[in-house]
Amino acid sequence: MNFASRLPSSIVLAAALVLAINVYSQTPNAQSQEEHFTRNFTVTPGSTLAVENYKGTIHVTGTSSNQVAVTVNKRFEGSDSDRKWWMENTHVTIDNEANRVRVAVDYPSNNCNFWCDNDGHTDYTAAVELTIEVPRKSNLDINGYKPEIKLASIDGDIRIKSYKSPIDIDSTIGAVNISTYKESVRLHDVTIRGDLGLKMEKGDATIEARSLGNDANIETGKGTVVLRIPTTAGVTVDYSGSRRASFHSDFPITSDAGFRSSELRGSFNGGGTRLRLRTERGSFTIEALQ
């Protein structure tokens, strides 16, 4: 008979439990370790997808399904030791309810005295790429510092807050509200239902809209904004810019107050959507959508 067999059963059970807890606590979170995985969730129509990703990509496409499919790809280029550390400390959290799915990426960070990229390292590049399919009737709430953002085929409201993300929105119906610092913004084949809001400090924007909805508010510090709308669109324009700004419209604008170099208030096609344009050193152009 060995020593363990002579111990009381309660002591053996307790020792086994402690061992099991220690083994579990040393095992990294499986989801954090995976380099590539997909999670699926069934949601109700009109649900909201909320995404937070500091860098990498956020690509969202609407489908005829009633599910949200989140595909995560952890992209890493560097040494094996850095890869292991980064994979273990980069966490993707996915929370789901019937009317909301939240995806948040938490990157590892070293205690830098000042802002530093690559989590304080300079010898590797790494980011999380998110590719997500949602029911077409969904609302999107997107947050990121510098991810590439591409959204398509959505019938719902879209809100984006970023710092320097290239933003591409294609074939959507609903309100669009974007707040960003710089980079490019492109809206193609969008129908605004509700309001359109775009606020950016610098960078270029192209907006091709079949409808501008009720109110459109576009502000830029500097950069070029091109707005293309149908020839029949009725718009009431309120433009204001400094002496270093410029404004041009392919549509003849009727204005009782006349046009000054820095201000214009008027309408075309009988008026309609309230279009407010503000810039310091940028340019606005309104063109006919072909």
Q: pLDDT averaged over consecutive 10-residue blocks of the chain (290 residues)?
A: 44 39 34 77 97 98 97 93 92 96 90 44 85 98 97 98 97 98 96 97 96 97 96 96 92 79 90 96 95
Same domain, 125 and 193: no
Q: Does 164 fall in a domain? A: no
- What is the predicted pLDDT for the residue at 23? 32
Question: What pLDDT shows up at residue 246?
Answer: 93
Domain membership of residue 57 (yes or no) is yes
Give me the number of domains the chain comprises.
Answer: 2
- Final residue of a structural domain among 94, 113, 148: 148
Task: Write out the H or E segment, with its range, that includes residue 85.
Answer: helix 80-89
In a domain, 209, yes or no: yes
The domain in which residue 199 lies consists of 173-290
Instruction: Please report the pLDDT score of residue 145 as a whole number.
Output: 96
Strand arrangement, sheet containing 176-180? 91-97, 100-106, 47-52, 138-144, 158-162, 176-180, 195-202, 215-222, 273-279, 235-241, 263-268
Instruction: Write the burial class of residue 115 (CB in 10 Å: 0-12 exposed, 13-18 middle, 19+ buried).
Output: exposed
Same domain, 259 and 190: yes
- Give the model's pLDDT for residue 118: 52
Pick from 255, 260, 258, 262: which is nearest to 279 by CA? Answer: 262
Q: Report the 10 Å Cβ neighbour count for 200.
A: 26
Residue 274 shares a structural domain with residue 188: yes
The pLDDT assigned to 110 comes to: 52
